[in-house]
Structure 1
Amino acid sequence: MTLAATAQQKGGDKLSQDKAAIKSMCGCQEVTFEYTETFPADTSYKPKGYHKIIDAIEYVTVASEDPRRIVLQHLLIADSSVIKHWTEDWQYENQQLLAYAQDNQWKKITLPAAQVKGQWSQKVYGVDDEPRYEGSATWVHADGRHYWEAASDAPLPRREYTTRKDYNVLHRVNHHEITATGSVHEQDNKKVIRANGTDKVIVGEKGLNTYNRISESKCQLAKEWWEQHKAFWTVVRKSWDKIYGESSEINLQKKVNNEPLYKVMSALEEKAFRKELSGAELEKTITTTLQQFSHNTELSLQR
């Protein structure tokens, strides 16, 4: 069924079309990730080349939904195991956004109601539901196409944050478009050195992530894993939401007590899976942990 037909069944309004487009990105999919640097800012810079991951299998599901918000969870299947991947938090006419500054610092900004009218913000979280980037734009449904595109600043991508020190901000233009077989996430990025209030671009980058639907049976492992672990990550998202609501800025720490966030969260997830903590104890521990890692102190580098 087309998105237009789905929206027509629900009343034919624009909001229904938007929701149908967002949720159409769910399902069992084969994904190809491709990135290549493009135009250098000066002749002394030599582009780093082409990066490609093929034949990854990713399951995308609706983690939560209400009339003005849809949260999509990505789960990567690799070597007969499941890895919690990134999270997309779509909010309708959202005025409060987290804008990335630099060096693991995000600042809350407020957009005018008139500016976000009819728009959806997409907040992207990392594997521990830590902040990554957020932008707001209108879903466009025209000439048989369904797409959304917004610009935002972000920390270094995971494929580079341990290997690159020559830039500290990735200015992203994210384009999500529905296709006949799934969707594409196209990126036109700039790698930026940000210091003392000024930006210097070192090189451009093109990204293309292609999602093609495959048999749902190939994602059965991910579906079972999510049923066992989704309660834990619901508590994590609620704890992060509380921090976002109370803080005007977030400074993500590299380590606390010499432990990175992913190791601490992995241990907590295992305890939750083995039911070693009560619901109240788990929620308190998660909230305390995230408050420690997002404490507004000296800026630290991306872990």
Structure 2
Amino acid sequence: MKDGLFKRVAESMVVWLLVMQAAGSAGADGAMDVSQRQYTYSWLFADSSSMKPRGGTTSGPDVVLNNATSAEFIRLQASDLRVQERDRRAILAMAGDFRTSFDFIETVGFTEGYEPLAPYQSWGTERVYVLENTENFVSLQHIIVMHFVDDAGVVSAPMVVKHWRQDWRYQDQVMHEFQGRGRFQRRELDAASASGSWTQTVFQVDDSPRYEAKGQWTHAAGVSFWKSDDRRRPLPRREFSVRDDYQALYGSHRITITPSGWTQEEDTLKLVLADDNRPVADRPYLAREAGLSRYERLQNYNFSAGDDYWQKTENFWSAVRRFWQGVYKNEPEFTVAKSVEGKPMYSALFALADQPYGSQQAMERAVQEALRPYIRAHR
């Protein structure tokens, strides 16, 4: 892989954080006709123009879905599994190559004269890698690899983004919960509360924490799903880029494993917080939002650019993860700044990810020097 690709990865990070807002047309067998395929759920009498989905109009080349029952799903159905092992296999079934689609819409408003925000729809193509896989812990890294097609039908070079990461831990007794405005607080659970549960911790593209939730897997013949407890999480880019009238999402989500992929359904309230991150007294909730993210397995899609990027930068991102493990261990409460001196954290890290380092110690030092300014401990 040429170094030019990695340079583009760093230089275009701002654009790629908007990729889910700048992608609106691709189908299993051909390009999506947006005007025909998109519709509005839950607002039958709303003006159609005001409810036109946000999300962009760029196009990608055709992709081919793999609708056959996956080997991962078949392994999940084995009859002789312990409950914990069946849970773990369900988590591992989220790895692989996927076409991803994202739908979010406000379904209920709580303010006088409420008018719903236009719904959001987007798509992408990504490979989910298994970083770690032990009896009690699984780590999955998402990496986007996409091509765009211009008006002349020319397909772009592959664009790569290290996307989000999810860590799953069995019977986790130490959680780090999002409070609001970048602040996280440690919460310890007793053994009874953690019994049989898995926590899912979600990390940003730069491996900084996003949110953590606890839940239980439920299994029946042909069905496996995990339902989280209610928790707070920060606003996603699709929201904070267009509004600033609330500070957190509060609610639950459910992950379901299907024969040829998986889904994540979200039921959240848009929560207004006071300066101390407590819900405001007079009207804490603005609206309720429903979300559905769908991961459909792909075949014959070229993810080699993502493989090349990860092979070159995996050691660097491992150092970043170790840094955050130290923060989690040593800081019961801390705040993560979005930017320092005008530079977002992701910008600082992506510029360093593929640089040559003379030693592992030099790499670790570069990571620490880059990240420390963004973290403020509360002791």
- Structure 2-normalised TM-score? 0.73
In 2, Cα distance between equivalents of 1:154 and 1:288? 27
8 Å contact 1:167–1:191 — kept in the other structure? yes
8 Å contact 1:69–1:91 — kept in the other structure? yes
In 2, Cα distance between equivalents of 1:164 and 1:113? 41
8 Å contact 2:72–2:93 — kept in the other structure? no
What residue is the counterpart of 2:317 in the other structure? 233
In 2, Cα distance between equivalents of 1:250 and 1:261? 16
What residue is the counterpart of 1:43 in the other structure? 112
8 Å contact 1:4–1:12 — kept in the other structure? no
Q: CA deviation at 1:284?
A: 1.8
Structure 1 residues 111-152: Cα deviation after superposition (integer angstroms, max 9, x where no partner): 111111111100000000111111111111124310001122
In 2, Cα distance between equivalents of 1:185 and 1:236? 27
The correspondence for 1:190, drawn from 269, 274, 281, is: 269
What residue is the counterpart of 1:18 in the other structure? 87
What residue is the counterpart of 2:98 in the other structure? 29
Q: CA deviation at 1:296?
A: 2.5
Determine helix, strand or coil for the equivalent of 2:340. Answer: coil
Alignment of 1:132-211 (within 5 A): 132-150=210-228, 151-195=230-274, 197-199=278-280, 200-211=284-295
Give the aligned CA root-mean-square deviation in angstroms.
1.8
In 1, Cα distance between equivalents of 2:368 and 2:172? 24
Structure 1 residues 11-56: Cα deviation after superposition (integer angstroms, max 9, x where no partner): 51111111110010110111111111110013322110211113x1
Determine helix, strand or coil for the equivalent of 1:53. Answer: strand
Q: Which moved more, 1:123-132 or 1:216-225?
A: 216-225
**1:66 and 2:134 matched:** yes
What residue is the counterpart of 1:75 in the other structure? 143
Give the letter for the 1:184 counterpart: T
8 Å contact 1:192–1:202 — kept in the other structure? yes
**1:53 and 2:117 matched:** no
8 Å contact 1:73–1:86 — kept in the other structure? yes
Give the letter for the 2:143 counterpart: L
8 Å contact 2:73–2:259 — kept in the other structure? no
In 1, Cα distance between equivalents of 2:259 and 2:273? 40
What residue is the counterpart of 2:307 in the other structure? 223
Determine helix, strand or coil for the equivalent of 2:232. Answer: strand
Give the letter for the 1:116 counterpart: A
In 1, Cα distance between equivalents of 2:145 and 2:78? 35
**1:255 and 2:339 matched:** yes
Of Structure 1 and Structure 2, which has the larger fraction of its residues in strand? 1
In 2, Cα distance between equivalents of 1:186 and 1:219? 26
Q: Which moved more, 1:225-234 or 1:185-194?
A: 225-234
Q: CA deviation at 1:270?
A: 3.1
In 2, Cα distance between equivalents of 1:31 and 1:5? 23
In 2, Cα distance between equivalents of 1:123 and 1:40? 29
What residue is the counterpart of 1:300 in the other structure? none
In 1, Cα distance between equivalents of 2:342 and 2:305? 33
Q: Which moved more, 1:149-158 or 1:126-135?
A: 149-158
In 2, Cα distance between equivalents of 1:107 and 1:44? 36
- Structure 1-normalised TM-score? 0.91
Higher alpha-carbon Rg = 2
Distance 1:92 1:7, change over 3 A: farther
**Structure 2 stretches of 5 or more lacking a match?**
1-70, 148-157
What residue is the counterpart of 1:291 in the other structure? 372
**1:278 and 2:359 matched:** yes
In 2, Cα distance between equivalents of 1:120 and 1:233? 24
Provide the identity percentage.
28
Q: Which moved more, 1:242-251 or 1:138-147?
A: 138-147
The correspondence for 1:119, drawn from 178, 197, 201, is: 197
Structure 1 residues 203-222: Cα deviation after superposition (integer angstroms, max 9, x where no partner): 01111111110115432322
In 1, Cα distance between equivalents of 2:97 and 2:83? 26
Structure 1 residues 162-216: Cα deviation after superposition (integer angstroms, max 9, x where no partner): 3211000111311100012100011111111012533401001111111110115
Give the letter for the 2:365 counterpart: K
Give the letter for the 2:254 counterpart: H
Determine helix, strand or coil for the equivalent of 2:351. Answer: helix
**Structure 1 stretches of 5 or more lacking a match?**
298-303
What residue is the counterpart of 2:177 in the other structure? 99
Q: CA deviation at 1:3?
A: 4.5
Structure 1 residues 65-86: Cα deviation after superposition (integer angstroms, max 9, x where no partner): 2321111000111231110110
In 2, Cα distance between equivalents of 1:255 and 1:193? 22
Q: CA deviation at 1:5?
A: 4.4
Determine helix, strand or coil for the equivalent of 1:76. Answer: strand
Structure 1 runs, 4 residues or longer, greater than 3 Å off:
1-9
In 2, Cα distance between equivalents of 1:295 and 1:285? 18
In 1, Cα distance between equivalents of 2:104 and 2:221? 28
